[in-house]
A and B are shown apart, each in its own frame.
Chain A
């Protein structure tokens, strides 16, 4: 039985296969309507994340399966002191596959050790969120038609943003990817990523504080939120917060076929004035998330 705990659980070939299946789903939705008939997906959200939960549920419903679950710890038995191991033992008797979000890092490993059915990690604290990475890859592949040979700009909080870290790791498996890492000085990517991934694989990258000066080089721009609480002092935040907002004016210098991504929800880091620009891919990205999750469910349930 397979689980999806971290992106490293799948080989590059398997990731490519998931992307292929997702694309097949996108163009032949009716073929998949009954693939998981009679199967149940349990969504256990020990920490609320409505967007991700709805995406999983929509994915299973579109495969003809059923869903059950809970959201946020208060409504669940953890409030009464039940261990995660016990919750999973019970729920794996009620379902055929489990998607779980948990605030504690490593919780999906505990779940997998106690489950008779596959576990999908829908986020464990700041640790892993593999379905996000897979949907990001699908988005790039859909929007650009390939997963190699481009310059990827990652902008915002690169220090704490797990989606960014895991995307860097995933993209570094593909050929001729260059990174432009755009962030305030205190929110640069962690050293271990530079040493263990970028330097080790000889990947071309630059670190910069300016989005404006670098936007013209990019084929993909992945925006993330810069949170106020990450800054040591108020003045720094005030000085930098607007630098990392993407608006019409900054976009003027960008390539005509730039692909703008964001894991959503956004606050103000992308101005709504560019939502209708064809380069804005973030709402399509959210939709691709559903198809990727369908492909993941099919793979883990071994449904062809």
Chain B
């Protein structure tokens, strides 16, 4: 299978197989004005299988939200056909409207227009807690 390489943009690599679509949704890539290629079940020596997303434009994307979903992801920045930067997403201190609190007794379950805010409690375990009810998300 052949997908054209990109001139300027991003290659999101080492996504755990099956997480590709989730990341597509979190980053709201459907809103972008450029082509996005999703490669699923690609062979990987390290991971066995992996997903890859290629974004054919250098738009501003907040990659740090990915730290919560899959901290092992690699983001490659491509400029003029060359890889100029490679990094892993950081764990954000606060996730706003990215994950929903699942506690049915939480105020977020009833209050309209309230943002779901989760706060990083344990960096090592990538553990977040709901800002309102303190339950783990």
- List chain A positions with a Cβ less than 8 A from chain B: 83-85, 102-107, 109-110, 124-127
Residues of B within 8 A of A124 (CB): 107
- List chain B positions with a Cβ less than 8 A from chain A: 103, 105-114, 130-135
CB proximity of A85 to chain B, nearest CB, Å: 7
| Interchain CB contact under 8 A, B110 and A85 | no
Besides A85-B114, A102-B107, A127-B134, 20 more A-B contacts (Cβ < 8 Å) are A83-B112, A83-B114, A103-B105, A104-B105, A104-B109, A104-B111, A105-B103, A105-B105, A105-B133, A105-B134, A106-B106, A106-B130, A106-B131, A107-B111, A107-B132, A109-B131, A110-B107, A110-B111, A124-B107, A125-B133
* The residue from B105, B109, B114, B135 contacting A110, defined by CB atoms under 8 A apart: B114
Q: Please measure, in the bound complex, the distance between the C-alpha atom of A32 and the C-alpha atom of B74, giving whole angstroms.
A: 64
CB proximity of A236 to chain B, nearest CB, Å: 25
CB proximity of B121 to chain A, nearest CB, Å: 11
CB proximity of A119 to chain B, nearest CB, Å: 13
CB proximity of B124 to chain A, nearest CB, Å: 15
CB proximity of B94 to chain A, nearest CB, Å: 14
* 15 residue pairs bridging A and B, Cβ less than 8 Å apart: A84-B107, A84-B111, A104-B106, A104-B111, A105-B106, A105-B107, A105-B132, A106-B108, A106-B133, A106-B134, A107-B111, A107-B132, A124-B107, A127-B133, A127-B134
Q: Please measure, in the bound complex, the distance between the C-alpha atom of A83 and the C-alpha atom of B108, giving whole angstroms.
A: 11
Interface of B is mostly: loop
Q: Please measure, in the bound complex, the distance between the C-alpha atom of A102 and the C-alpha atom of B109, giving whole angstroms.
A: 13
Interface core residue of A84, A105, A124 (most chain B CB under 10 Å): A105
| Interchain CB contact under 8 A, A126 and B105 | yes
CB proximity of B119 to chain A, nearest CB, Å: 11
CB proximity of B112 to chain A, nearest CB, Å: 5
Residues of A within 8 A of B135 (CB): 105
Q: Please measure, in the bound complex, the distance between the C-alpha atom of A110 and the C-alpha atom of B105, giving whole angstroms.
A: 14
- Residue of A at shortest CB range from B133? A105
7 A-B pairs with the lowest CB-CB distances in the bound complex, closest first: A106-B132, A105-B133, A104-B107, A106-B133, A106-B107, A107-B107, A125-B105
* The residue from B113, B130, B131, B132 contacting A85, defined by CB atoms under 8 A apart: B113
- Residue of A at shortest CB range from B117? A109
Q: Please measure, in the bound complex, the distance between the C-alpha atom of A127 and the C-alpha atom of B108, giving whole angstroms.
A: 14
Interface core residue of A84, A104, A126 (most chain B CB under 10 Å): A104
CB proximity of B117 to chain A, nearest CB, Å: 9
Would A85 and B103 be within 8 Å (CB), given that A106-B131, A106-B132, A127-B134 are in contact?
A: no
CB proximity of A144 to chain B, nearest CB, Å: 31
Would A83 and B107 be within 8 Å (CB), given that A106-B131, A106-B133 are in contact?
A: no
- Residue of A at shortest CB range from B136? A192
CB proximity of B102 to chain A, nearest CB, Å: 12
Residues of A within 8 A of B130 (CB): 106
CB proximity of A279 to chain B, nearest CB, Å: 35
Q: Please measure, in the bound complex, the distance between the C-alpha atom of A256 and the C-alpha atom of B112, giving whole angstroms.
A: 55
Residues of B within 8 A of A125 (CB): 105, 133
Residues of A within 8 A of B106 (CB): 104-106
CB proximity of B120 to chain A, nearest CB, Å: 16
Residues of B within 8 A of A84 (CB): 107, 111
CB proximity of B133 to chain A, nearest CB, Å: 4
Residues of B within 8 A of A85 (CB): 111, 113-114
Q: Please measure, in the bound complex, the distance between the C-alpha atom of A105 and the C-alpha atom of B135, giving whole angstroms.
A: 10
